[in-house]
Amino acid sequence: MALAADPLPELNSPALVLALPDGRRQPLFASGGEAVIAPGVGAALRRTATAMPFALELQRLRIEHHPGTALPRHFAAELLVHEGAAARRVVVSMNQPLRLGPWTVYLQSYGEAFDGVPVAEFAVVRDRFQLSPYVASALMLAGLLLHLVQRLRGGQR
């Protein structure tokens, strides 16, 4: 069953508003076509696709609510991660993302499709510099230790 088209897709798509020299504001939507700025001049905002080195298959979605409310207490997705010919089961929850090399997969939201099938929404981030916080912390620690050694040797008056 295909999902119905969103009646207002511009509310859910990336957008950019251009401030033109004549004072006009021209919105550009990723889901829209080209916007005419001046005769013969157009602009468009387009999405780009990024191929992932893995595929995710949702197996099960678990949701726990706070007692007596509709507020989520915990939600987790059981996934089958396909990497090449290999596949493995993992659990991704709201506070425990899945790390695959430079990629981090966060369970962002959940819901139900129109036919009642559970749907999970993921945010995938590629962090090429994922070791930088550790390097920065090591440099700060080295500086603090150097300062401590200088104070113990009598360098501070």
Query: pLDDT tens digits for the chain (157 residues)?
Result: 455 666 665 556 667 777 888 888 877 776 667 777 777 777 777 767 788 889 999 999 888 889 999 888 888 999 999 998 999 999 999 889 999 988 999 998 888 788 878 788 898 888 888 888 899 999 999 999 999 999 998 855 5
Residue spans per domain, the chain: 9-43, 55-126, 130-157
Read off the tokens for 137.
């912390």
Dist CA 30 CA 115 (whole Å): 28
* DSSP labels, 38-97: ETTEEE---------SSEEEEEEEEEEE-TTSSSEEEEEEEEEEEETTEEEEEEEETTB-
The Cα–Cα gap between 86 and 54 comes to 10
The DSSP bridge partners found for residue 27 are 17
DSSP 8-class letter at 114: T
134 by DSSP, 3-state: which? Answer: helix
The span from the CA of 29 to the CA of 65, in Å, is 36
CA 3-47-8 angle, to 5 degrees, is 45
**What's the predicted TM-score (pTM) here?**
0.58
Are the CB atoms for 81 and 54 separated by under 8 Å? yes
